[in-house]
Chain A
């Protein structure tokens, strides 16, 4: 239980009925850390099913333009199209080991839903995914992918009909069906043990990236950039550099239409401490403690909370969290397509845009590492809607 709290943040704030199922997940989590068979199957799937290790690419044209070397950790090349697969393979195997007969998940962009549906198909466990109706509409292609993998997709109409509401609905399902159901949580947030568990399965990104940077450049990067929704891809890559105080860590939050407006999802910059979705963390909320609605062009960052470890890294200033607007992210989407022949997820474009913006603060020799958390095919329609409007 040493990872239950991150400074003052974290914990396990859930109704009593979820304490037993969460304890069961935690017990299985502690066991698999030292279970050779589990680890062997995990490595095999990560390598031979999902295609790890993912490469690191020098963004050669952008690097020339900005005069700093930008390295991309290519999670977009992972099977499923995003880092989410690392987590769903891990937790999928955990669910199987625990003998669960059904997996439920929430999804925002649909990437986690797709990655869960994929693993459900592979492991032969039925999957049901909760998705806000607004998200289901802007990510219609991902809904179809989930359905093809055999998952049942429930569109959630309550509240803002986005990720927050999908999590509410999934939690309600779990409260009802905890006995035979595994809740495969999609990001490094929520009640303990999820922040620790999801981090554990995403650490592979940082482990590989650190080793690859040392091999390619002979040194650690000057800075690491990642986008932050709930915070799983970011903590995954940060984890390998946390103890290297010379490596600066940057989280890109969704600034939506601007931090001066009400239309953003910049939880750490604009939020306040609170207790919601099982965790003590930072949330966008009103004076009374009601959670507020968020806005981002990227469904994957459209969440009013953030994982507790990021709240801690923010409070202790080990990492810096800065907003990137819809506009900046969309420009970066185009720039990457035109200059590098890569189409990153709009979520990942937030991290890239932040790296491009911050680059001038680093000397010309500096190597900047960006976690390219996913591919952007899913965002094509969204992109053209925005640039044409």
Chain B
């Protein structure tokens, strides 16, 4: 069992997403530590990639800030190592595959595992292409996170779930990451259908914004909920003031944690 399954098989979790290095590597580390102090149960971290095709403008701008301020692969490893020293909570990593490929796939997996990452989501590597790397991933000790989209058939979802060792990231809506005002009804039906066919933890993300939405999704049976763009927006608002960013992010997280009790 990895840290994610241990957590999610026992309790529901709210999982904030942070882009490593946004706005600067130092500030990013401080903000993430504040979030941990605020009581979040797990983290989803992003490695900045300048051409993130699955992300909306908020996350793209976040990646651009991080890159501009000197965040590279080596820097991300340092940050993850520091976060792991600070806390024992599960750490998931969201990454575009070229960043891994360029390091050498096996070496990249090993380095990430050694830094303290528990599981990775390779955003642009679907089931069929992931196959060739599964062995290396297992060997490295990293668990896998895989996407299930609104248009993924049930048959395909089954295969994806069979290949998932940390959790399935259930995409709540069509489109890129970004804040939406309302969740489509389909998301709730999807949770029920997937629940019926698997024990793999289901974590919902893309476009989730409010504590009420988190509550609704957890009530519907989700094992976890990820919020990314809404938090990134807060950081974007306070790029020049880490102190303010920490306060605002912590209060956002506190608000959700209290709601979901």
Residue B89 CB within 8 A of the other chain:
no
For A141, the chain B residues whose CB sits under 8 A away are none
Least CB distance from A191 to B in Å reads 9
Q: Out of A165, A172, A175, A289, which one reaches B99, CB within 8 Å?
A: A289
Residue of chain B at shortest CB distance from A4: B128
Given contacts A17-B147, A172-B56, A172-B176, contact A291 B102 (CB under 8 A): no
Of the candidate stretches B10-18, B32-40, B78-86, B149-157, the one touching chain A is B149-157
Whether A13 contacts B56 by the Cβ 8 Å rule is no
Residue among A11, A16, A20, A165 facing the most chain B CB atoms (10 A cut-off): A16
The answer to whether B151 touches A285 (Cβ under 8 A) is no
| B residues near A165, Cβ cutoff 8 Å | 51
Picked from B54, B101, B128, B153, the residue with its CB within 8 Å of the CB of A289 is: B101
Residues of A within 8 A of B152 (CB): 16-17, 19-20
Chain A binding site: helix, strand, loop or mixed by DSSP?
mixed
Of A127-135, A249-257, A270-278, which binds chain B? A270-278
The residue in chain A whose Cβ has the minimal distance to the Cβ of B148 is A16
> Given A159-B50, A285-B98 in contact, is the A275-B174 Cβ separation under 8 Å?
no
Judge whether B102 and A289 touch: CB under 8 Å: yes
A275–B97 touching, CB < 8 Å: yes
Report the separation of the CA atoms of residues A128 and B3 in the bound assembly, to the nearest whole angstrom.
Answer: 45
Given the interface contacts A17-B174, A274-B98, does A291 sit within 8 Å of B51 by beta carbon? yes
Residue contact B51 to A164, C-beta cutoff 8 Å: yes
A168–B51 touching, CB < 8 Å: yes
Binds A, one of B19-27, B118-126, B193-201, B221-229: B118-126
Bound-state Cα–Cα, A178 to B174, Å? 8
Distance of A168 Cα from B54 Cα, bound (Å)? 9
Q: What residue in chain A is nearest B150 (Cβ atoms)?
A: A17
Whether A11 contacts B129 by the Cβ 8 Å rule is: yes
A138 and B60 CA atoms in complex are apart in Å by 26
Query: Is the beta-carbon distance between A276 and B98 smaller than 8 angstroms?
Result: yes
Q: Which chain B residues in 106-151 approach chain A with CB under 8 Å?
A: 123-129, 146-151
Q: How many residues of A contact B (CB 8 A)?
A: 36
Cβ B147 vs Cβ A16 within 8 A: yes
Q: In whole Å, how far is B155's beta carbon from the nearest beta carbon of chain A?
A: 12
Within 8 A of A (CB), among B140-183: 146-153, 156, 160, 171, 174-176
Complex-state Cα separation, A16 to B150, whole angstroms? 9
| Size bracket of the B interface | 35 or more
Residues of B within 8 A of A158 (CB): 57, 60
Determine if B51 and A16 form an interchain contact, defined as CB atoms under 8 angstroms apart.
no
Question: CB distance B51 to A276 under 8 Å?
Answer: yes
The answer to whether the Cβ of B30 comes within 8 Å of any Cβ in the partner chain is no
Name A278-327 residues within 8 Å CB distance of B. 278, 283, 285, 287-291
For the complex, is A177 an interface residue (Cβ under 8 Å from B)? yes
Q: Which residues of B contact A272 (CB under 8 A)?
A: 102
- CA A159 to CA B50, docked complex, whole Å: 8
* Beta-carbon contact of A175 and B54 below 8 Å: yes
When distances are taken between beta carbons in the complex, the residues of chain A under 8 Å from B188 are none
When the two chains form their complex, are residues A13 and B125 in contact, meaning their CB atoms are under 8 A apart?
yes
| Interface assignment of A176: CB less than 8 Å from any CB of chain B | yes
A171 to B, closest residue via Cβ:
B53
The interface bits of chain A over 7-18 (1 if a CB of B lies within 8 angstroms of the residue's CB, else 0) are: 000011111110
Contact check, A16 vs B126: say whether CB atoms are below 8 A apart: yes
B101 pairs with A275, CB closer than 8 A: yes
A21 at the binding interface (Cβ < 8 Å): yes
Query: Beyond A158-B60, A288-B72, is A274–B101 a contact (Cβ under 8 Å)?
Result: yes
Looking at the assembled complex, report how far the CB atom of B207 sits from the nearest CB atom of chain A, in whole angstroms: 11
Apart from A13-B125, A16-B171, A172-B53: 20 A-B pairs, beta carbons within 8 A: A11-B129, A12-B126, A14-B124, A16-B147, A16-B148, A16-B160, A17-B151, A19-B127, A19-B149, A20-B152, A21-B151, A168-B53, A175-B53, A179-B174, A272-B102, A274-B102, A275-B125, A285-B98, A289-B98, A290-B50
Instruction: Show 21 A/B contacts (Cβ-Cβ < 8 Å), sorted by A.
Output: A12-B126, A13-B124, A13-B125, A14-B53, A16-B149, A16-B171, A17-B147, A17-B149, A19-B126, A19-B156, A164-B51, A165-B51, A176-B176, A179-B151, A179-B174, A285-B102, A288-B72, A289-B49, A289-B73, A290-B67, A291-B50
Q: Give 3 nearest A-B pairs by CB, closest first.
A: A289-B102, A17-B149, A176-B175
Mark B residues whose CB is within 8 Å of A: 49-51, 53-54, 56-57, 60, 67, 72-73, 97-103, 123-129, 146-153, 156, 160, 171, 174-176
A residues near B, CB below 8 A? Answer: 11-17, 19-21, 158-159, 164-165, 168, 171-172, 175-179, 272-278, 283, 285, 287-291
